[in-house]
Amino acid sequence: MSDPVILASQQNDPAFADVWEELRWRGLVHVSTNEEELQALLAGDPITFYCGFDPTAPSLHLGNLVQLLTMRRLQLAGHRPLGLVGGSTGLIGDPRPTAERTLNTKETVAEWVGRLQSQVSRFLSAEGDSAVRLVNNLDWTADLSAIDFLRDIGKHYRVGTMLKKDAVASRLNSDAGISYTEFSYQILQGFDYLELFRQYGCVLQTGGSDQWGNLTSGTDLIHRVEGRSVHAIGTPLITNSDGTKFGKSEGNAIWLDAEMCTPYRFYQFWLNTDDADVVERLKVFTFLTRAEIEELAAQVEAEPFRRAAQRRLAIEVSTLVHGEDATAAVLAASEALFGKGDLAVLDEGVLRSALEELPNASVATGTTVVEALLATGLVASLGEGRRAIAQGGVSLDGERVEDDSAVVTGSLPGGTSVLRRGKKTLAGLFVG
């Protein structure tokens, strides 16, 4: 469920003439159909628009968050969002550039549809004239026969045009090739747009620019079948300034589900944003105004060591995704770990997730601090550990260790302890 307090606090920046102008400033329009027509359309009476999310995993990720926040900005401008979770397209999956997808069972896909629908609904308001409506393309494809699909929809597609789509072309040039199943995906997505146009008067689809071939599949189909012009917006693929893929942390995707990516890890991901990327991230992933972002940009330029923009970014996005309470708990844990709060009063789950992000070790009750230092990698030998203690440079759970025979106790919530060597080198202990 969405948080009405958070949704109520969101608004588009009144400094812009219209939502199109703001989308352009935030860098959210990489490619689109006719720009002049789109700007006039979005500045006029409310329209219905949609974005699709395929349940090819049990959670959405940061790439999907770009779409959800773009949808929210359009909703705030008075337009009506349709959140499509693809119960049928999720059984196939859009073609990846390199290899065929592994098909999931119908039962798995159905479960993931429910999970993704719940996530989509958290970011869009269900109140008022522009309330979000959740739709599932399985509703109009489940009873459709292959013959009817080929006669009514397939006849409007030309194979030559389909072969030119980026994802298809890259697969054709790879060793893996492409199956007819994935080749047909763009027809299914085009059919979705046609159905939503017919059922709800939907005239705009948004999606990532890597989906542009699938987006225009729908605009072309509607033009052929209904003789109407509709629109599409492709948002840019977010990459880091060094060219690496955004949303990856040590090879793991940053998921929106707290069980798949803890709020602490989520917060740290944003906190570690590079100076060269942080302003663009603020534009895309927060509802801060242009004036607020420009002020933070000036702070990055003048005092980058303070990392004020990164902290604001981490707080804003964590609150959007996990809520105010979870973000407050993460902030408390971050401060306590670095000596600015009481470790003993932290939430057990947040503390454990924080320690899992640090060098850590599971040790038995009665393990000496010297042995724990070695187990966590804070020292290279027992002798080095004893010397560090003798020099007064080791603390356990916030208290300096005076004796190298001291043992770890797991006195913090959940049977944990925090080791510190020096001012900033930390490790976690799971004792038991």
Domain-located, residue 55: yes
Distances (CA, A) of 161 to 83, 92, 217: 28, 21, 10
Ranges 2-11, 76-85, 101-110, 307-316: which has the least confidence: 2-11
The last residue of one of the domains, among 328, 347, 366, is: 347
325 shares a domain with 281: yes
- Predicted pLDDT at 413: 94
pLDDT tens for residues 365-390?
999 999 999 999 999 999 999 999 99
Domain-located, residue 126: yes
Over residues 345-374, mean pLDDT: 94
Please tell me the total number of residues recorded for the chain in this structure. 432
179 shares a domain with 65: yes
At 359, the pLDDT band (50, 70, 90 cuts) reads very high
317 shares a domain with 178: no
Over residues 237-241, mean pLDDT: 88
Q: Is the pLDDT of residue 112 over 90?
A: yes
Rg of the chain (C-alpha set): 25
Domain-located, residue 101: yes
The model's pTM? 0.92
CATH number at residue 291: 1.10.240.10
Between 251 and 54, the higher pLDDT residue: 54
Residue range of the domain that includes 305? 239-347
Burial of 233 (0-12, 13-18, 19+ CB in 10 A): buried
394 shares a domain with 332: no
226 shares a domain with 156: yes
3-state SS, 272-328, equals CCCHHHHHHHHHHHCCCCHHHHHHHHHHHHHCHHHCHHHHHHHHHHHHHHHCHHHHH
The last residue of one of the domains, among 295, 318, 347, is: 347
Burial of 207 (0-12, 13-18, 19+ CB in 10 A): buried
* CA end-to-end distance (rounded Å), the chain: 38
Contact 271, 314 (CB under 8 A): yes
Ranges 108-112, 132-136, 247-251, 358-362: which has the least confidence: 247-251
Of 243, 205, 240, give the one whose Cα is nearest residue 222.
205
For all residues of the chain together, what is the average pLDDT? 94
Between 166 and 86, the higher pLDDT residue: 86
Q: What are phi and psi of 363, to 5 degrees?
A: -130, 160
228 shares a domain with 280: no
For residues 306 and 142, what is the distance between their CA atoms, to the nearest angstrom?
A: 55
Q: Is the pLDDT of residue 250 over 80?
A: no
320 shares a domain with 192: no
At 249, the pLDDT band (50, 70, 90 cuts) reads low
130 shares a domain with 42: yes
At 246, the pLDDT band (50, 70, 90 cuts) reads confident
- Predicted pLDDT at 251: 60
75 shares a domain with 208: yes
205 shares a domain with 106: yes
Type of residue numbered 6:
I
Instruction: Please give the tally of structural domains in the chain.
Output: 3
263 shares a domain with 182: no
Domain-located, residue 219: yes
The last residue of one of the domains, among 187, 218, 237, is: 237
Domain-located, residue 88: yes
201 shares a domain with 334: no
At 166, the pLDDT band (50, 70, 90 cuts) reads confident
- Predicted pLDDT at 109: 96
CATH number at residue 363: 3.10.290.10
Ranges 9-18, 33-42, 96-105, 329-338: which has the least confidence: 96-105
Domain-located, residue 271: yes
Domain-located, residue 339: yes
At 256, the pLDDT band (50, 70, 90 cuts) reads very high
CATH number at residue 159: 3.40.50.620
Q: Is the pLDDT of residue 259 over 90?
A: yes
pLDDT tens for residues 282-293?
999 999 999 999
Over residues 393-398, mean pLDDT: 93
For residues 262 and 258, what is the distance between their CA atoms, to the nearest angstrom?
A: 5
Of 264, 282, 417, give the one whose Cα is nearest residue 353.
264
- Give the rounded percent of residues in the chain with a pLDDT score beyond 70: 98
Of 266, 288, 270, 256, give the one whose Cα is nearest residue 26.
288
Residues 89-112 as b or e (16 or more Cβ within 10 Å = b): bbbbbbbbeeeebeebeeeebbeb
Domain-located, residue 353: no
